[in-house]
Amino acid sequence: MFTPETSKHFVPYTDPVTGVVSYLLRNETAPLQKMCYYVSKNWSRDERYFWIVTAFPPSGWMEGSAFTAACIDFETDEIYFHPDIQGYGSCVDQDTGELYYRTDNLILKKGPRSDSPVVRIGRCPAKYRLFPGNMGTHLTFSADHKELCCDIHSGNEMYLTSLDIESGVFTEWHHRHGGWNHAQFNPVDNDLIMFAMEYWQDLKTGERKIIEYDENDHRMRTWTIRRGDPDAVLHSPLFREQTHEWWSSDGRYIYYCDVDHGVGRINYQTGEHIMLPIPYSWHAHSSEDDRYFCSDTKILPEGQAFYRGAASATMFTDIQTGKNVVMISENPALYQPDEPCVYHIDPHPRFVFNDKYVAQVTTVTGQVTVAFTPVSPLKEKTK
């Protein structure tokens, strides 16, 4: 089996500030390469297949548009390109390496090879087919692997559903007006889904809507709902801000990012709510044992407002020792504030391949690609 260290498709990169070594995927398949969204697993359990999202600038007009897909085969050291797949929002069957993905009105799956057949899993029910729309933000499997979570967007409405993979039947859990998204199954509970209030644009009036705040000036972003319950449960942040939530691997914790204070951790069963002091906390992700975190931060000049494609950096943290090490000290900005990137190229670091690597998006080569940073040396640096 090949690895990022031995594959011909990767080159080593040593961070000039910290000396941390990462392995960068060559831009052989596309000029822009990134991972699937960080809450969806995009690799096979045996570490043979790793799917990436690809794009060919300047195609695309908004985040999530004009993406295709490719799959790295670490057994043969080949990369299979899939121009027929809309890769953004997809997830991988970790047993087979097949990619489950969405179009505007279909859920499909395809194997890792380019000549693999495409199989239809489900078609959007007629009642949800109000254009514009799509079948979900990012797909996730239920704990028993029998369903997919689909937050269907139909015009200005969101229908939170689960799709039975075998029958193709959708079950509606919840309906809300507005920009609700980022729905994801709990990894151990088939009957629990987390979803988020998000910024959105009213398709009738063109008005831009913000995430709302409660009477205590806390953001009302992160919610959960149990199958069959009519009401969703709000999980408020400790402080004002809250974004980029994800489940811990054992389903006990809801994690979220607060750029000013670190990473919040809510014990779903006990209600315990603490803040982990992680210096970089624009996006973050946890190891399977909840000890290690990878995260990123924006790098902006004083007074500069954020724009997609700004410079960034990434960090690894051991919360037991309280020590950190920067993985990539600067991902250079390839775009300008007046012409931001339309491809959502934030680093979005996450642990992959049984926590052996941190995968992240990087721009250190002057193009957008995927970096694999081995975890073992990072643990040594943070002991």
Can you give the pLDDT at residue 174?
Answer: 97
Q: Are 101 and 108 in contact (CB under 8 A)?
A: yes
Can you give the pLDDT at residue 65?
Answer: 66
Residues forming beta bridges with residue 266, ordered by sequence position: 254, 273
Report DSSP state, residue 304. P
State the DSSP string of 157-190: EEEEEEEETTT--EEEEEEEES-EEEEEE-SS-T
- 141 contacts: CB under 8 Å, gap ≥ 6: 91, 93, 147, 148, 149, 185
Can you give the pLDDT at residue 129?
Answer: 85
Q: What is the pLDDT of residues 151-204, one digit of tens each?
A: 999 999 999 999 999 999 999 999 999 999 999 999 999 999 999 999 999 999
- Buried b vs exposed e over 349-366: b needs ≥16 C-beta within 10 Å? bbbbbebebbbbbbbbee
- Buried b vs exposed e over 308-327: b needs ≥16 C-beta within 10 Å? ebbbbbbbbbbbeeeebbbb
Can you give the pLDDT at residue 62?
Answer: 65
Can you give the pLDDT at residue 190?
Answer: 98
Q: Are 110 and 85 in contact (CB under 8 A)?
A: yes
Nearest alpha carbon to residue 360 among 15, 59, 17, 78: 15
Dihedral (Cα; 168, 171, 176, 178), 10-degree rounding: -10
H-helix or E-strand spanning residue 377: helix 375-381
Give the whole-angstrom CA distance, residue 370 versus residue 353.
14
Token reading at 235: 């999980």
Give the whole-angstrom CA distance, residue 42 versus residue 93.
8
Can you give the pLDDT at residue 43?
Answer: 97
Can you give the pLDDT at residue 63?
Answer: 63
Give the whole-angstrom CA distance, residue 130 versus residue 105.
10
Low-confidence ranges of the chain (pLDDT < 70): 61-65, 131
Q: In what order do the strands lie in the sheet with 67-73?
A: 32-34, 49-55, 67-73, 78-82
Sign of CA dihedral 35, 38, 40, 44: positive
